[in-house]
Chains A and B, each alone.
Chain A
Amino acid sequence: MSDPRIHLALRMGDNSLILAQQNSKWCGHAPTLEEDIALANVSLDLMGHAQMWLGFAAEIECEGRNADTLAFFRDTEEFRNSLLVERPNVDFATTLMRQYLFDVWHLEQLLLLSQSSDTLVAEISQKALVEVRYHRERSQSLVIRLGDGTIDSHNRMQEALNALWSYFGSFFEDSKDDELLFDLQTSPMPSSLYPSVLEQLNQDCVLSTLKTPESEFWQKGAVQGHHTENLGYILAEMQYLQRTYPNSKW
């Protein structure tokens, strides 16, 4: 049986990698220059985190792969990212809401992983934590400003939240590997994060005047590699060069 830490490292690394890839599509297209720079910078940080997590996964896997081969030569069913991060960019409201929901979960997860019994998991998490705190502050303040902004900005942020909600539950899906990791005190059960994450969302909603959907119908399957159609398109674009010219160097 394979080391369950691979499951955790892929989950963390793939979430960061896919969201970095998605956000970076805004480079040169964001509604304002400040947001353009912010999205590119957040992507850069996430790419750095993906490199650490996937590098860690490759190291414990011992099959001669590295962070790059894991990113470029796996197919959709081998990816362990949540369904939320693979949702299409659509518009700035959707992109920002997706980032905000991710940041709230990410910060909570990294706070807990920083206390991991596994030294490397704790070290990578502590490194990422300080940067993610900054991401969350930015996305939170923007969601509040736009939610409590004009009628149009409020409606668009609320529509984005409603549209993304059922995919958000993907972060809280447990698996057999998570049980093993929980017993070893390596990582928390994904489902255990939901109450505090929801509480934080509701607190921000007071200021943003947005409403957290009541439904708890979650789209599931990402932990087993069942993804939405859009991940295929993301990977096709991201992996094209390495698939066509394997191991080509910059």
Chain B
Amino acid sequence: MDVLTVKSIVESVPDPEIPVLTLGDLGVIRGVHERDDGFEIHVTPTYSGCPATRVINEMISEALLSAHIEKFTIKKVLSPVWSTQWISESGKAKLEEYGIAPPNPGAKGPKSCPQCKSTRVSEISAFGSTPCQALWRCQECLEPFNYFKCL
């Protein structure tokens, strides 16, 4: 088993809270290295207090074990700091399709409603169902939706 294969296994693990995204899309896998005692997976947390961080590590272990890779360690790295800019373009498209407005850098809120694409949107709550989301509403189709906060 080589580093690239291990990397692709790890990167294809789904995010526990937003399963349409993989860890690769999310940009939290910071490297896979081969050491004398096995593979070393570098993972960076999204939000500091996010309960999903622990679950992510458990899911990585599970994915590797089911691919018969038994010798590995998961190392937490902080730098460079994760921000929503680490989410891949395909990841942003998947979010939109799933009904979550993707992060919109440089603006106070989402570009448009993920359902009807109207740009007439307003904030309901600065915080939402998970640490990474805020709650917004479309003025056109009146549907509330989640917005992936821009960090």
| A38 to B125 CA separation, bound complex (whole angstroms) | 8
Rounded to whole Å, the gap between the CB of B145 and the closest CB of chain A is 15
Whether A127 lies near B128 (C-beta < 8 A) is no
Rounded to whole Å, the gap between the CB of A16 and the closest CB of chain B is 9
Given A48-B49, A48-B50: A38 and B83 interface contact (C-beta under 8 Å): no
4 nearest A-B pairs in the assembled complex, by CB-CB distance: A48-B48, A48-B49, A34-B125, A44-B49
What are 20 A-B pairs with beta-carbon distances under 8 A? A34-B125, A37-B125, A38-B125, A45-B47, A45-B131, A47-B49, A48-B47, A49-B49, A51-B49, A52-B78, A123-B78, A123-B79, A127-B45, A127-B81, A129-B81, A130-B151, A134-B149, A134-B151, A137-B126, A138-B126
| A134 to B50 CA separation, bound complex (whole angstroms) | 15
Q: Flag whether B124 is at the interface (Cβ < 8 A).
A: yes
| A130 to B47 CA separation, bound complex (whole angstroms) | 9
Whether A51 lies near B149 (C-beta < 8 A) is no
Task: Give the nearest-CB partner of A39 in chain B.
Answer: B127
Interface set of B (CB-CB < 8 Å, partner A) = 45, 47-51, 78-79, 81, 83, 124-128, 131, 135, 149, 151
Per DSSP, chain A at the interface is helix
Residues of B within 8 A of A107 (CB): none
State which residues 77-135 of A face B: CB under 8 Å. Answer: 123-124, 126-131, 134
Number of chain A interface residues as a range:
20 to 34
Whether B151 lies near A38 (C-beta < 8 A) is no
The 8 Å CB contact of A37, one of B48, B51, B83, B128, is B128
Rounded to whole Å, the gap between the CB of A46 and the closest CB of chain B is 7
Task: Known pairs A123-B81, A130-B81; list 15 more (Cβ under 8 Å).
Answer: A34-B126, A34-B127, A37-B128, A41-B127, A43-B49, A51-B48, A51-B49, A52-B48, A124-B78, A127-B45, A127-B78, A128-B48, A130-B83, A134-B151, A138-B127
State which residues 14-52 of A face B: CB under 8 Å. Answer: 33-34, 37-38, 40-49, 51-52
State which residues 137-176 of A face B: CB under 8 Å. Answer: 137-138
The 8 Å CB contact of A34, one of B49, B83, B124, B151, is B124
Residues of B within 8 A of A42 (CB): 127
Whether A46 lies near B49 (C-beta < 8 A) is yes
Residues of A within 8 A of B45 (CB): 48, 127
Select the residue from A38, A41, A45, A49 with max chain B CB neighbours within 10 A.
A41
Task: Give the nearest-CB partner of B128 in chain A.
Answer: A37
Whether B125 lies near A131 (C-beta < 8 A) is no
The 8 Å CB contact of A127, one of B48, B131, B135, is B48
Rounded to whole Å, the gap between the CB of A104 and the closest CB of chain B is 17
